[in-house]
């Protein structure tokens, strides 16, 4: 069996040849599955003629578009692993990541080529550069214009499950971004799980807020609508454009960061809009509040489902839950500091909670596991779990626990399992605050403070305790609700009262306000607590 995801597109082109497979909301450009596959074949033939070989690593820096989708499928068909990096991670991280994965081929838009020319050192391994876009010929011919539809099928590389298909970088929300090795078998397992669990396939129309998910959509035979937005800034999505394409294209399914749905749901409520065709919404990338889910329920038709899949770049999806259960059952507990319930393990996925450790755990032992209800580190095993990071021995040693012929991945997240087998998320391991009197966890503590109506969100961070080396002082930072006249002194006084009234937060003595929390680049929703911690140290005591 050929597990190459490129084979899936070829099969869709055979079974659904004349159906629309992809549409760009911004340009109106539409392609059938037959055209998508023919375009991918044409690009594969062209790249092969230019000398791109199976096994060569290809860095792809092309904006979300039909060209991006077709180029990615072309590289899969060639058997050339594709390297995908978020350009919004900053120039320093970008240069470090490129140097770390050592691409041999570079395909990018003209702006990406200018970056390569300005910073040549990270690209020292590149032997072939190709341009996708018009550059007056200065950067070479536009390969996306030169390579047309091919009537001759390209022979899809017969990939083994353990062969490298892609390197995708983490957001770097708790340290430098890491390149995650995606094997063909992992992509194949993800396709199967998304198809079977979320019932995605022919007849569905998807508008993904994250470009990579358009690959899954088209490979499964659903139509992908590329939204008119900057995927590196989902919190700045223009809700009018996003909603317009949802309505005009009669989108039935959409995946996006909670930052997107926060903006879209408020816009729809303000304008009395109900998204009548949207039957399924997936939100992931950061903790999701019951308040957001309730707002979303108000703009969707009766019977529509909201899912909050949990996972990470290294393992996605592994746990899921429906919005109705969250609003009716778990969110009231979350508001009291019980953590965020993310749901039950998906089919074929094993979840355990083990004792927290900041060092490597070389070998699995059942004695590591904690009883239900006890907060510890979340570990996962399953066929959607990636095996390691690229050229990063230290992180691989920290992230994996060997178990005979298998392994467990350490999520770096803390949480617990309840009596119903549901997983509750309590924050990142790196973000726990270890004081001389005990350990505080971010999500439960912040839930107490977030109950204040003038608090948009809060962040628990730690700063060094000079009197007790190795321990920290907890600091609670609040971001006030914007567009309200709020007196800082009064807000802090009331937040202190809230904290003092809960056993979870009564030990916190330091409080600060911050106008706009720094967040991750991919989802614009995860709080960069490391940056806030550095900022808090400079503020002094309050």
Kindly indicate the confidence band of residue 153, based on its pLDDT and cuts at 50, 70 and 90: very high
The maximal CA–CA distance of the chain, rounded, in angstroms, is: 74
* 145 shares its domain with 34: yes
pLDDT at residue 423, as a whole number: 98
Helix/strand/coil (H, E, C) string of 90-108? CHHHHHHHHHHHCCCEEEE
* 69 shares its domain with 120: yes
* 369 shares its domain with 476: no
* 422 shares its domain with 461: no
What does the block give as tokens for 464?
A: 């060094």
User: What percent of the chain has a predicted confidence (pLDDT) above 90?
Assistant: 87
Strand order in 253-256's β-sheet?
Answer: 30-32, 20-24, 223-226, 205-206, 253-256, 280-283, 305-307
Lowest mean pLDDT among 58-62, 136-140, 432-436: 136-140
pLDDT digits (tens, 9 = 90+) for 250-266: 999 999 999 999 999 99
Residue 542 has pLDDT above 50, yes or no: no
pLDDT digits (tens, 9 = 90+) for 315-362: 999 999 999 999 999 999 999 999 999 999 999 999 999 999 999 999
CATH code at position 479:
3.30.300.30
Residue 520 has pLDDT above 90, yes or no: no
User: What percent of the chain has a predicted confidence (pLDDT) above 70?
Assistant: 99
Angle at 357 between CA 355 and CA 359, to 5 degrees: 145
- Position 264 in a domain: no
pLDDT digits (tens, 9 = 90+) for 273-294: 999 999 999 999 888 999 999 9
CATH code at position 393:
2.30.38.10
* 156 shares its domain with 179: yes
Angle at 382 between CA 381 and CA 387, to 5 degrees: 75
> Nearest 5°: phi and psi at 339?
95, 180
In this prediction, residues 18-22 reach a mean pLDDT of 98
- Position 24 in a domain: yes
CATH code at position 152:
3.40.50.12780
* 43 shares its domain with 125: yes
What is the domain count for the chain? 3
Chain Cα centroid distance, residue 143: 29
- Through-space distance between the first and last CA atoms of the chain, rounded to whole angstroms: 64
- Position 278 in a domain: no
Show which of 162, 184, 206 is a domain's final residue. Answer: 184
pLDDT digits (tens, 9 = 90+) for 379-417: 999 999 999 999 899 999 999 999 999 999 999 999 999
Residue 306 has pLDDT above 80, yes or no: yes
pLDDT at residue 174, as a whole number: 67
Q: How far apart are CA 511 and CA 492, in angstroms?
A: 7
Kindly indicate the confidence band of residue 486, based on its pLDDT and cuts at 50, 70 and 90: confident
Neighbours of 42 (CB within 10 A): 20
- Burial class of residue 128, CB neighbours in 10 A (0-12, 13-18, 19+): middle
- Position 288 in a domain: no
* 417 shares its domain with 490: no
- Position 193 in a domain: no
Q: Decide if 415 contacts 328 (C-beta within 8 A).
A: no
Kindly indicate the confidence band of residue 310, based on its pLDDT and cuts at 50, 70 and 90: very high
Distances (CA, A) of 506 to 268, 433, 445, 453: 39, 14, 10, 20
Distances (CA, A) of 479 to 173, 184, 406, 453, 455: 19, 43, 44, 11, 6
Q: How far apart are CA 298 and CA 68, in angstroms?
A: 34
Q: Which helix (H) or strand (E) holds 69?
A: helix 66-78
Residue closest to 261 by CA, chosen among 287, 276, 282, 244: 282
* 409 shares its domain with 531: no
Higher per-residue pLDDT: 484 or 248: 248
> Nearest 5°: phi and psi at 197?
-80, -45
> Nearest 5°: phi and psi at 15?
-85, -30
Show which of 184, 208, 242 is a domain's final residue. Answer: 184
Tell me the Cα Rg of the chain: 24
Q: How far apart are CA 298 and CA 263, in angstroms?
A: 14
pLDDT at residue 522, as a whole number: 73
Q: How far apart are CA 249 and CA 242, in angstroms?
A: 11
Mean pLDDT of the chain: 94
pTM of the model: 0.94
* 386 shares its domain with 516: no
Q: Decide if 51 contacts 128 (C-beta within 8 A).
A: yes
- Position 290 in a domain: no
Show which of 374, 396, 427 is a domain's final residue. Answer: 427
* 82 shares its domain with 158: yes
Q: Which helix (H) or strand (E) holds 310?
A: strand 310-312
Kindly indicate the confidence band of residue 245, based on its pLDDT and cuts at 50, 70 and 90: very high
Residue-number span of the structural domain to which 423 is assigned: 330-427
pLDDT at residue 337, as a whole number: 98
pLDDT at residue 348, as a whole number: 96
SS3 call for 396: helix
* 405 shares its domain with 506: no
* 34 shares its domain with 168: yes
- Position 26 in a domain: yes
- Position 268 in a domain: no
In this prediction, residues 456-482 reach a mean pLDDT of 94
Residue 4 has pLDDT above 70, yes or no: yes
* CB burial string 421-459: b at 16+ within 10 A, e below: ebbbbbbbbebbbbbeeeebbbbbbbbbbbebeebebbb
- Burial class of residue 5, CB neighbours in 10 A (0-12, 13-18, 19+): buried
Helix/strand/coil (H, E, C) string of 279-298? CEEEECCCCCCHHHHHHHHH
What does the block give as tokens for 370?
A: 């904690």
Residue closest to 282 by CA, chosen among 198, 390, 384, 226: 198
Residue 426 has pLDDT above 50, yes or no: yes
């Amino acid at each position: 069996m050929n597990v190459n995801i490129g084979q899936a597109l070829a099969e869709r082109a055979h079974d659904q040849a004349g159906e629309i497979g992809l549409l760009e909301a911004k340009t109106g450009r539409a392609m059938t599955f037959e055209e998508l596959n023919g375009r991918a074949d044409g690009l594969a033939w062209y790249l092969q003629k230019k000398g791109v070989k199976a096994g060569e690593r290809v860095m792809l820096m092309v904006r979300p578009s039909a060209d991006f989708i077709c180029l990615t499928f072309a590289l899969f068909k060639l058997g050339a692993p594709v390297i995908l990096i978020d350009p919004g991670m900053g120039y320093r991280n970008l240069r470090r990541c490129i140097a770390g994965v050592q691409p041999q081929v570079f395909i990018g838009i003209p702006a990406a080529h200018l970056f390569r020319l300005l910073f040549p050192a990270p690209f020292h391994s590149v032997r072939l550069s190709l341009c996708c876009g018009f550059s007056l010929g200065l950067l070479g011919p536009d390969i996306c214009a030169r390579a047309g539809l091919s009537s001759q099928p390209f022979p899809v590389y017969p990939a083994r499950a353990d062969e490298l298909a892609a390197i995708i970088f983490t957001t770097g929300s708790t340290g430098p971004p890491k390149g995650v090795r995606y094997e063909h078998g992992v992509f194949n397992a993800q396709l199967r799980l998304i198809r079977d669990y979320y019932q995605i396939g022919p007849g569905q129309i998807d508008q993904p807020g994250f470009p990579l998910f358009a690959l899954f959509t088209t490979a499964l035979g659903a139509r992908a609508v590329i939204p008119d937005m900057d995927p590196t800034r989902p919190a700045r999505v223009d809700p009018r454009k996003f909603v317009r394409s949802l309505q005009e294209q009669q989108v039935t399914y959409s995946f996006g960061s909670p930052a997107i749905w926060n903006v879209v749901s408020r816009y729809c409520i303000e304008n009395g809009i109900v998204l009548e065709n949207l039957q399924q919404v997936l939100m992931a990338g950061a903790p999701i509040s019951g308040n957001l889910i309730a707002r979303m329920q108000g703009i969707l038709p009766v019977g529509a489902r909201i899912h909050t899949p949990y996972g990470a770049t290294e393992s996605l999806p592994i746990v899921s839950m429906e919005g109705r259960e969250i609003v009716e059952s778990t969110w009231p507990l979350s508001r009291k500091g019980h953590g965020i319930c993310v749901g039950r393990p998906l089919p074929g996925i094993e979840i355990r909670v083990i004792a927290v450790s900041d060092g490597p755990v070389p070998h699995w032992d059942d004695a590591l596991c904690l009883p239900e209800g006890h907060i510890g580190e979340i570990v996962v095993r399953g066929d959607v779990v990636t095996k390691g990071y690229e050229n990063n021995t230290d992180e691989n040693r920290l992230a994996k626990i060997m178990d005979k012929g298998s392994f467990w991945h350490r999520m770096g997240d803390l949480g617990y399992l309840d009596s119903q087998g549901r997983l509750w998320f309590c924050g990142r391991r790196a973000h726990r605050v270890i004081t001389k009197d005990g350990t505080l966890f971010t999500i439960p503590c912040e839930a107490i403070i977030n109950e204040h109506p003038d608090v948009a969100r809060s962040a628990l961070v730690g700063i060094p305790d000079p009197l007790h080396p190795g321990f920290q002082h907890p600091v609670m930072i609040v971001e006030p609700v914007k567009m309200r006249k709020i007196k800082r002194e009064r807000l802090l006084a009331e937040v202190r009262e809230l904290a003092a009234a809960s056993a979870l937060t009564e030990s916190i003595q330091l409080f600060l306000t911050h106008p706009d929390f720094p967040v991750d680049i991919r989802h614009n929703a995860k709080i960069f607590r490391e940056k806030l911690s550095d900022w808090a140290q400079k503020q002094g005591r309050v």
